[in-house]
Every structure is written in structure tokens, then in C-alpha cells.
Structure 1
Amino acid sequence: MDIVDLSDNQLNGILEFGNISSPPQLRKLDVGNNNLRGPIPAAISKFTNLVQLDLSHYKTQAPVDFNIFSHLKRLEDLDLSYLNTTTAIDLNDFLSYFKRLERLVLSGNPVSATNKSPVSGPPLLRYLELSGCGITEFPEFPRNQHMEWLDISNNKIKGQVPGWLWTLPKLAYLNLSNNTFTGFGNSTTVSIVNLIASNNNFTGKIPSFICDLRYVYTLDLSNNKFVGLIPRCLGNLKRSLLYLNLRQNRLHGGLPETIFESLRTLDVGHNQLTGRLPRSLIHFSSLEVLNVESNIFNDTFPFWLHSLRELKILVLRSNAFHGPVLQTSFPKLQIIDISHNHFNGSLSSDYFVKWSAMSSLGDNYDQRFDNYMGGSYYHDSMVLMNKGIEMEFVRILKIYTALDFSGNKFEGEIPRSIGLLKGLLMLNLSNNAFTGHIPSSLGNLTALESLDVSQNKLSGEIPQELGSLSFLSYMNFSHNKLTGLVPGGTQFQRLDCTYFEDNPGLFGPSLDEDCRDIHMPTPHETPESEDEEEEEVLSWIAAVIGVIPGIAFGWVIGYILFSYKPEWFIDPFARNKRRISSSTTH
């Protein structure tokens, strides 16, 4: 047997090899991504014919003697990531064990990568991952290797990216994200295909050398402090660039009119960009994700984007978009967020008829491929208001669907055609001026998990059909003019009372059981204002007792007891009614 591959299962327990008298002929051993635990068996040192070894996510729970790997001289591919050990790996010593190693993954382990002495041996290492290893300085040894893939993300490295890095002739993938780098240094590279440098402290303008990259697929400079305009020279990359993420910087000006023929993701959210969306976007025929949130764009609704047949995510949130949202068709759109703008007008009853991607129930992706939006080296991410909180999706499932029209000035009725979006998971129409009834067609949204129609002018009953939506775990109906019986589904009975407030006409078991204590005093408890009023009366009685004797005393007492009738004494529910009717209105 040459190969044993048990990876990506749920195996648990301790890894044991039994008695080994002679070196096994095994060339590949892969038990990675399981639930194995305990010490790594020392007998692994006898597998001297191994070419590939994967022990990733092995829960050692104890110090590791890394010398046991020194006998595996034929190893070409070694993955020891996330061993759950406190034993630091001295990278210089560890690399000296091997003569043929081409791929090494040590991510998630403490690694010492000092530059005090060079690594001996021939320059063969092509693939190195040191993500999350607590490294504080950029290791020097990769400059003498045949490096093609280098991941040094999630460490504590600061200062300039070393200039020699850009001279590596075969370097195609470089991940510098989640460090504290401040600059790129002198750069002359023309080889990098995927550059991920997000979540650092890079300042100044986007460096011009990036425009000289020949065949870059991924460029992620998000969450830095870059200033200035988006370089027009990025148009040099228009035939190769697939993913461009400049999110969360300090860029200003407008979006360039450059036509990116292959671009799939364009994310420029959280900058200071102004003007209109360039109409050249209609030529981005491969575009799947367009995110321009939290800028200062001032434009009308880009209905013309319907020509982008691959568009799946559209985020216009928190800008100065305005005017009516004209009816259009988005055949593949799964997520749309146009919240917190100045859109107005009404939506026709058939507005959502042609939004076909949201009408399916989660079967619009190929199981053979990655389930997340993006590609092999880059995953799309975004922030959505979901279930009442701002939630960051670090990865976006290809089957996730959401519609957020909140924080605008829409009026008229909620379109009945919204009930056609059977694959919808999140719906937010809050903070508008919608009127009329909540459409009963919402009962067709069997996959719906979150519904927010608060802060509108809706009237009538909450549709009883919503009571049968078993996945609906969050609902907010507050600050409307709703009346009638609240549906009796279990999910309604679990709702916090604030999600019904300022709808004085609502009633039903859900409110009676769960919300009664909020609106009325608990037993043996008297409201503060009534306590003070009662104390004043008793003090007056005491004064009268001290001054008026005999019959006059009796007459005064009788008169006081007859005329003083606290509201809580007459009708214990009167205070509750007054609170409901005087709640904050929209």
C-alpha cells in the first residue's frame, strides 16, 4: 500500500501504528482535518519513505518533539497546521531536516522565524504557509527559495514589506493580510498573480507598481489607510483582474470609467467616493458582486445594471441615491441592499415578478465547487443588517438571499409579488412610509428567517399565514398601526414585546402571555407616582386628625375616602392602556 488518505472525516481517538520492525513502503499518509488527539506517535519517524504527510488539526494537547520528523528525508509535502501545541517551532532548525521539501504548512502553531542565520540546503521550497504563527519580523530565508506561494498573514509584523520580496521571479501568491505593515518598499515585481494585503496600516497613495503587474487575478487592499484617487492605470489590468477590493480606505473622487472585461468582484465600500456610478459598468459582463456602500455617490437607481446577467450581489447602502426605484429584472440577483438612501415613490404590485434567483429554494449552485462566493484564493464578504443586528459575513454562501430596502422613503403598499421570492432568507422593509396591509403572500416565503417591517404606516392585521413559517426566528412589527389578532405560532410566542410596541390595536395569546407584565404593575408593587400621591393624602389626613375633633373629624375622613379613588383602585388595567396609547410614534 502506497497511499492512506483518511482526511476530512470525523475520526477521533489516538493515532497508533503498532509495532513497526522495518520502514513501511507508505508514500502518502493523510489524516488531516479529523478529531484525532493525543501525542503524535514517535513511530512516525520510521516512515522514512513518506513523500507526503498531513497531520493538520491534530489535537496534540501536549508539547511536541519535532525531532521525530528529522528522519523523513524524502518528504516533499508536509502539513502540520493547527496542532494545538505550545511548543514553538524553530523554523531554521526545522527546515534543516529536509532536502526535498517543496511545500510546508505550519499555520496556527507558534513559530520562531528569526533571521540570525541562513537556512542551509538547496533552494527548493516553493509553497510556505505561516499564517497565525505569532511571527514579529519578516523571515529572510524565502529570498533564497523558489517561492511561488507565500502566506504570512495574521501575524505581528510591522514596518515595510522587504524590497527583495518583489524580486522573486516565480512568486504568484502573496498574502500579507492582518499584520501592521505600513509600506510596500521598493517594488519591481511583475510576477504576482494574487496580492492580498488587507487589514494593515498601509498609507499614502495606492503604489503605482501594482499597475505594472502583468496577469493579476486578485488585488485586495481593503481595510488600510490609502488616500487619493483610484489609480486610472488599474485599467492596465482590465483583461486579467477578477477580484478588486479597495474597501475601507480613504479614497476620494469617482470610480474610473475603465472597462474591466473579466472583473467578478468590485468592492469600494467605506471610502469617500463621489459622483455617479459610471455607465461603463454595463460592459462588466462578468461582474457578480458590486458593493459601493458608505460613500457619497449621488445618483438615481441603476436599473440599467439589469444587463449584467451574472450580477448576484448589489450593495448601494448608505449613499445619496435618490428617486424612484424603477421596475427591472435581475435574473441572478441574490442579495440587494439599497438601505439608508433617499429612494422614494411606490413599488408596483408586480415589482418582483422577474427576480428569478430569489424564487428558488437554495439549489442554485453546483455542489462540486466551493459553496462560497468568490474563488480559490479570494472569498467575498459583506455586512448586512440581519435579525436586528449588523452582521459581518466573512464568507457569503452561494445560496444566501437577502433584500434590504430599509431607511428610505418608500410609500404605498408592499408589493404582493414579494411572495414569489420563495428562496428569500432575510427581508427588511423598515423605516419607510409603506401603508396598507402586510401582504398575506409573505406566507409563501417558507425559507424566511428574518422579517422587519417596523417604523412604517402599515395597518390591518398581521397575516395569520406567518404563523406557519417554521424558520422565521426574528420579526419586528413595531411602530405601525396594526390591529387584530397576533398569529399564534411558536415563533410569535417567543418574540420580545418590543417587536409589537406602538400597535395598540394588537391582541392575542402571544401578547397576553408574554407582554402583560411590561404594561402593568407586578403584584405588591405600586407605581412611584401613585405612592407619592397616596403619601400626600395620608399626610393631610394626619394633619386633619390633629386639628379637627369629633364630628368634624368624621365628616372630613368620610369625604376624603369617598372622593380619593386612585386609578389603580378603580381599574387595574387603566395604566396599561394609557402606556400603550402614548408610546413613541414613528
Structure 2
Amino acid sequence: MHLELMNGTRLELLILNNNRLSGPILTFGPTTLRYLDLSNNFFTSFGQHPTFLPWTHLKFLDLRSNWLEGSLPILPINTSHFFISNNSLTGNIQESFCNLSSLKVLDLASNNLSGSLPRCLDNFGASLSVLDLQRNKFQGSIPKTWIKGSQLEIVNLSQNKFQGHLSRSLDKCTMLKVLDLSNNEFNDRFLSWLENLPNLQVLILRSNKFHGPIRTSKSEYMFQKLRIIDLSHNNFVGKLPLKLFGNCNAKTSKTANHLTYIQVSSTTTYRSYDEYGYSMTVTNKGEIMFYEKVQELLMVVDISRNRFVGSLTELEALDLSQNMLSGEIPQQLIQLTFLEFFNVSHNILTGLIPRGKQFDTFQNNSFEGNPGLCGIPLTKKCENSDETPSQPSISQESHDSKSPFEFGWKIVAIGYGFGFVVGVIIGPIVIARKHNWLMKTFRIRPLSRRRLRN
């Protein structure tokens, strides 16, 4: 069944989402149409290319999750909300998009669009709240100018082929909540100049070519509202500054009984509000997790696969599996008394498995795939198995400036409290036995076992 909108009516609102409508969308009449929702159907095209949509008064157009092919349609100049994600569109963003001075939401995610962004794209920056171009094939650099006083709240450019530096003019976007640049080819230093954005909650730079140390300013804390930061799979070096994580244990008045999400809501003519919600992917205990909605209470720090130096304490999950780690498992790990999940399987580790405290709770699969390991819980016994390895105290370790083990780390630390998830992923890191570093950095306080499991 195809859709044909007839002339001769004064239809202003049409909602046909979540049906089984299919075929082309025949784009003629009525010109009075203002709100059109055809999402979650099986429409295949607009019938002609390029498509000039005839609905001159159209404000809201939702074509998400169809089977649309071909190029982007040319929108009426007054369009404010345009959703066309999860289709199979090709081609680039036409220059005509720069004329949409009233555009608030532009969602082109999950298509096969390509090419570079129009240089004039910043023309509608004064009204735009959401720019979502994720999961396409865009390339080149992004516009160097963003209008001062911009209303941008969410910018998601992830999973494309963007390159070069990020323009410092983005620091004019004082309403910005989310900046997701993951899985591109940006080649730049850490974006410390974004630290003064008063509303930034999410900064994701994963899987790019960012490099160098993280510079700090004279302010007490960087990124006053930042709760989710992912710097993984880059080439950052040096020490992690305390200021970067100053808000990671910030108190909040929100409770689990009143959950709110990172989203942009706006009132339209025919509905009290229309929402665009931010979604993201993170790694939790070695598993890739997709969050269709992101709670404002969620806290995540992922700094894995860089060249940071520092040390660890009060971890709750430690995953070093499937690497090339050699030598013995350090006895100092017994002191990580909050450790609930531990996995060093499929490495080339040797020697006696540490005993005591949390290590007595780990199962065989935490150590499998290491032919040189022996001792409980494995069935392989060690020579002199009755000998219990020494357990150096924390105070003794704090005075020792050298580390007996240096290898790459892939670490996941997840904590639960106050109805939200706290995630930390760190690695590879060379340990220097400064066990108070992480506690100070992330403002960690001991949590009771009962609260950890809530």
C-alpha cells in the first residue's frame, strides 16, 4: 500500500506511524499540511529525485525507520523538525539545507549519506538544538564557525570519517549537553577549551587520533557538569588530572523515583512536546552495552587504550582477559577489597594464584587459558602448594616507589549507588603503586555491599 496525499483538503495533521504502509510516498497536496509522521513503516522512496516537498507550511516531518532510498528531500523553508534516521539514503547534504533558518532538530542518523558538510551549515545554528549525523559516511572537516548564542544541545557526529581539528568556535555553544565524536579520524589534542561550557554532560572522543597530554586550567574543576567521558582508543599520554573528574561524584537532588533522561524537548503546534533522546554505546565489564535512553544520573568514565600513567584502587571489576600478559598475578591485587569481578583468562600468566579476601570468591573461568597458572580454584596444583603467598600491606606498598609488574591494562570498574551506574574503564596503564590516586581522582567513598547491589 502506498501513500497518496490528495489535493482539495485543508488537512494540517497526519499521523500514520507504526503501520505496514509501503511503496513510494507520492508528494503532492494538500499544501496546508503542517505535521506529518510516517515513521516505522515500509516506505521506499519519494517517487522522484530530487524531491521537492510541496507542503509549504510543513513544520514537522518524521520519516524514521522506513526503507527509503535515494537522496534527501528538499524541505520547505519553514521546517523545524526533520527526522529521517534508520533508512538507506545516499548522496550528500544539499546546500538548500542552509536556508532552513527555523530548523531545530536535524536527525539524519543511520543512513548511507556521504561527502563533506556544506560550509554554510552554521547558518541555522541560531535555532538548531539537535544535529545527529551518526552512522553515515560523511568525511572532511566540520564547519569552523558556530553562531554565538547557539541553541545547540546535542551534537552527534559519531561513526563517520570526519578528520582534522575541531573548531574552537564550538565553545560558543553554551547550551551544549552532548558532544559525541566517537569512531572518526579527528586528529587533535584534548579539547580542554570546552571546559567552560556550563551544561556539558557527555563528552565522547572514543576511537579517534586524539593525542598528547590533558592540559589543565587554573579553575578548581574542569567541566562542571560532565558525568560521562569516554577518551578510549586514542593516544593520550601523561597523568590524568584530578580536575577532569571533579564532578564524577557530584551529589544530585534527583532520585530513582524521578528519572530524567538526556534529551531535547520542544513544543509543537499539535503536540505538547516532541522529544529527541540521546543514545550511546559503552563497555561494561567487557560487554558492549547500548543505552537507547541515557539517564542524567548515569556516570561513566572510559579512558582505556591510551598511554596514561597512574595507579588504581577500590576497583569493583577488573578485566584483563585475552591479552598477552605474562609473569605472575601481583599479590597486591588482594588489597582491592571491593573487587567483585576478576578475569585474567586466556593470557600467558604463570605461578600461584593469590589467595585471600576477594580472591577466594573467583571461579575457575576467571583464570582459564593460562597453562602456567596453578592453585585454587584451578585443579592444577603448584609445587610447595601449602605455602601461602605473602600479602603486603597497603602501608608497605605506599612506601615502595617501584612496581614489580608493568604491563598493559584493560580495566573496568563499575559501581552502583543512588540509583545510577558509575563506570570506570582504564587502560593500558603502568602501575606505580600510588593506591590513593584513583580514590582522590574520582572522589570515591567506600560503599556498603548492600548498596553496591541495589
Relative to the length of structure 2, the TM-score reads: 0.69
Identity %, equivalent residues: 27
Q: Using the alignment, how far apart are the partners of 2:132 and 2:368 within structure 1?
A: 37
2:38 aligned with 1:152, yes or no? yes
User: In the alignment, which residue of structure 1 is the partner of 2:447?
Assistant: none
| Cα separation, partners in 2 of 1:147 and 1:383, compared to 1, 3 Å | same
- Cα 1:389–1:188 change in 2 (3 A) is closer
Does the residue aligned with 2:65 lie in a helix, a strand or coil? coil
Call closer, same or farther: CA 1:214–1:361 in 2, change over 3 Å: same
Pairing 1:220–2:107 present: yes
Q: Assess, with a 3 A threshold, how the Cα gap between structure 1 residues 236 and 344 changes in structure 2: closer, same or farther.
A: same
Counterpart selection for 2:58 from 171, 175, 188: 171
- 1:488 is aligned to 358
Residue 360 of structure 1 deviates from its aligned partner by: 3.2
Classify 1:357/1:170 alpha carbon distance in 2 versus 1 (closer, same or farther; 3 Å): farther
**1:53-452 alignment runs, 5 A limit:** 115=4, 123-124=10-11, 126-131=13-18, 133-138=19-24, 143-144=29-30, 146-160=32-46, 166-184=53-71, 187=74, 189-260=76-147, 261-327=150-216, 329-347=222-240, 351-352=241-242, 355-360=245-250, 363=253, 370-375=260-265, 376-411=274-309, 413-414=310-311, 438-440=312-314, 442=315, 451-452=318-319
Number of the residue aligned with 1:93: none
Counterpart of 1:359, as a letter, is N
In structure 1, give the amino acid aligned to 2:57. Answer: K
**Distance in structure 2 (CA, Å) of the matches to 1:497 and 1:145:** 65
Give the CA deviation at 1:182.
2.2
Q: Which amino acid aligns with 2:183?
A: S
Aligned mates of 1:485, 1:462 — CA distance in 2:
10
Query: Paired residues, what number?
Result: 366
Query: Are positions 1:497 and 2:366 aligned together?
Result: yes
Q: In 1, are the aligned partners of 2:263 and 2:275 still within 8 Å (CA)? A: no
Q: Deviations over 1:532-582 (max 9, x none)?
A: xxxxxxxxxxxxxxxxxxxxxxxxxxxxxxxxxxxx9xx798xxxxxxxxx
Asked whether the equivalents of residues 331 and 355 of structure 1 are also in contact (C-alpha less than 8 Å), the reply is no
Other structure's SS at 1:143 match: coil
Structure 1 letter corresponding to 2:37? D
2:369 aligned with 1:461, yes or no?
Answer: no
C-alpha deviation, 1:359, in angstroms: 0.4
How far did residue 250 of structure 1 move? 1.6
Quote how far apart the aligned CAs of 1:409 are: 1.7
Residue range with higher mean Cα deviation, 364-373 or 380-389: 364-373
Partners of 2:27 and 2:117 in 1: CA distance: 34
Judge conservation of contact 1:325–1:345 (CA < 8 Å) in 2: yes
Counterpart in the other structure of 2:419: none
- 1:256-313: CA deviations, max 9, x gaps? 1121411111111111111112111222211111111111111111222211121111
TM-score between the two structures when normalised by the length of structure 1: 0.54
CA distances 1:464-520 after superposition (whole Å, capped 9, x unpaired): 5644x7xx6x54456689974353389x4468414896995xx9xxx83xx424x57
Show CA shifts across 1:71-103 (max 9, x none): xxxxxxxxxxxxxxxxxxxxxxxxxxxxxxxxx
1:516-527 to 2 correspondences below 5 Å: 516-517=378-379, 519=380
Give yes or no for contact 1:244–1:265 (8 Å, CA) kept in 2: yes
Unaligned segments of structure 1, at least 5 residues: 1-111, 415-437, 443-447, 521-567, 574-584
Contact (CA 8 Å) 1:475, 1:499: kept in 2 or not?
no
Q: 1:243, CA displacement in angstroms?
A: 0.5
Q: CA deviation at 1:246?
A: 1.1
> How far 1:136 sits from its partner (Å)?
0.9
2 CA distance for matches of 1:145 and 1:255?
35
- The offset of 1:159, in angstroms, is 2.4
Seen in structure 2, the aligned counterparts of structure 1 residues 122 and 204 have a Cα distance that, compared at 3 Å, is: closer
1:292–1:317 Cα contact (<8 Å) kept: yes
Give distance in 1, aligned partners of 2:95 and 2:47.
Answer: 15
Q: Which runs of 5+ in 2 are unaligned?
A: 266-273, 386-406, 409-454
Which deviations, in whole Å up to 9, do the C-alpha atoms of 1:380-422 show, x marking residues without a partner?
A: 11221222122222221111111111111222x32xxxxxxxx
Between the aligned partners of 2:215 and 2:356, the Cα distance in structure 1 is 34
Q: Aligned partner of 1:196: which letter?
A: F
Classify 1:502/1:142 alpha carbon distance in 2 versus 1 (closer, same or farther; 3 Å). farther
Compared with structure 1, are the counterparts of its residues 459 and 161 closer, same or farther at alpha carbon in structure 2 (3 Å cutoff)? farther
* Aligned residues of 1:464 and 1:486 also touching (Cα < 8 A): no
CA RMSD of superposed structures (Å): 3.9
Once the 2 structures are TM-superposed, how far is the Cα of residue 365 of structure 1 from its aligned partner? Answer: 7.9
Q: 1:502 to 1:143 in 2, by over 3 A?
A: farther
Q: Distance between the aligned counterparts of 2:199 and 2:94, measured in 1?
A: 31
Structure 1 letter corresponding to 2:245? W
Higher RCO (C-alpha 8 Å, min separation 6): 2
Q: Aligned partners of 1:283, 1:338: CA distance in 2, in Å?
A: 22
Q: 1:113 to 1:369 in 2, by over 3 A?
A: farther
325 and 130 in structure 1: CA distance in 2 versus 1, 3 angstrom threshold? same
1: CA distance between counterparts of 2:47 and 2:280?
Answer: 28
Of Structure 1 and Structure 2, which has the larger fraction of its residues in strand? 2
- CA shift digits 1:106-146 (9 cap, x unpaired): xxxxxx5565xx77995345141423x12112455993374
| 1:8-27, Cα deviation, whole Å (9 max, x unpaired) | xxxxxxxxxxxxxxxxxxxx
The question of whether the paired residues in 2 share the 8 Å contact of 1:250 and 1:271 is answered with yes
In structure 1, the partner of 2:426 is none
Equivalent position SS for 1:274: strand
1:162-216: CA deviation from partner (whole Å, max 9, x where unpaired): 7887222332221112222223576351121110111222111212222111211
CA distance in 1, matches of 2:365, 2:252: 29
Instruction: Tell me the distance in 1 between the aligned counterparts of 2:119 and 2:199.
Output: 25
Q: Distance in 2 between matches of 1:233 and 1:495?
A: 59
Query: Once the 2 structures are TM-superposed, how far is the Cα of residue 327 of structure 1 from its aligned partner?
Result: 4.0
Instruction: State the AA in 2 paired with 1:151.
Output: D
Cα distance between partner residues in 2 of 1:325 and 1:182: 43
8 Å Cα contact 1:161/1:183 also seen in 2: no
Q: Look up the SS of the partner of 1:485 in the other structure.
A: coil
**1:304-325 deviation digits (Å, cap 9, x = unpaired):** 2211121111111111111122
Q: Is the 8 A contact 2:225 2:247 kept in 1?
A: yes
- For 1:488, give the aligned amino acid: Q
* Deviation of the 1:244 alpha carbon: 0.3
